[in-house]
Amino acid sequence: MRSAAQLGFSIIELMVGVTLALLIAAAAALLLASSVGENRRLLLEARLTQDLRSAIDLVARQTRRAGHWSAASTLGLWSASAGAVPNPYAAMTPNAGASDALTLRYSQDTNENNAVDGTELVAFRLRNGALEAQLGEHTWQALTDASTLVVTRFHIQPSIQSSTLESACACADSETCTAPRVQVRSVEIEISGQAVNDASVQRTVHSTVRLRNDNVSGGCNL
């Protein structure tokens, strides 16, 4: 039995107290580490999503301009004496089927020369974990930062809806006419990526682009 004059804690009581304090400290440390890890993951997810969204927005804006031709309102229309001049900027690859690259063109001429110059070629591709854009005929530049983001998938799926138009002119008996047709084109774009520092942080973004410039073909005297 403890004497009434005895003060302080016994060794057992002190050890129990220290053990409880260590348990509480360990629980607090685990909670703090979990909170810091979760915040870090949220920041990585936000940055990854923002980087992918910025990349797909740029691809979508360029794709939407595909086929732009300054002379479309004059040379691209049918007349009674001649058919429409084919749009030199209409080509786009892929025009059918899925691909991991996209090539298009649109006029950037101050004065339209009706020819595709090297500076009017636009392309996107996935290479070594980075999404790249073609600037000019031979120059490629990365759109994503490979030190923070690894692009794992760049998927292009074009869609074409064709319709036959009413001919604006009659064909002579000796001529072979092709009924004018219009192609309404759209492209589905998908980009997937993961954070360099944490492969478990993955995101995928999608965008469907309706090309503003329809591809028109056929008509009189063709």
pLDDT on residue 124: 96
For 15-66, write each residue's pLDDT tens digit: 877 888 888 888 888 887 777 777 777 888 899 999 999 999 999 999 999 9
Q: Are 146 and 128 a contacting pair, CB within 8 Å?
A: yes
pTM of the model: 0.74
For 80-122, write each residue's pLDDT tens digit: 455 567 788 988 999 888 899 999 999 988 888 888 888 899 9
Helix, strand counts (H, E) of the chain: 1, 8
Please report the DSSP string for 47-78 in residue order.
HHHHHHHHHHHHHHHHHHTTT--TTTTTTTS-
Half-sphere exposure (Cβ direction) of 149: Cα atoms closer than 13 Å: 29
Written as one letter, the residue type at 169 is C
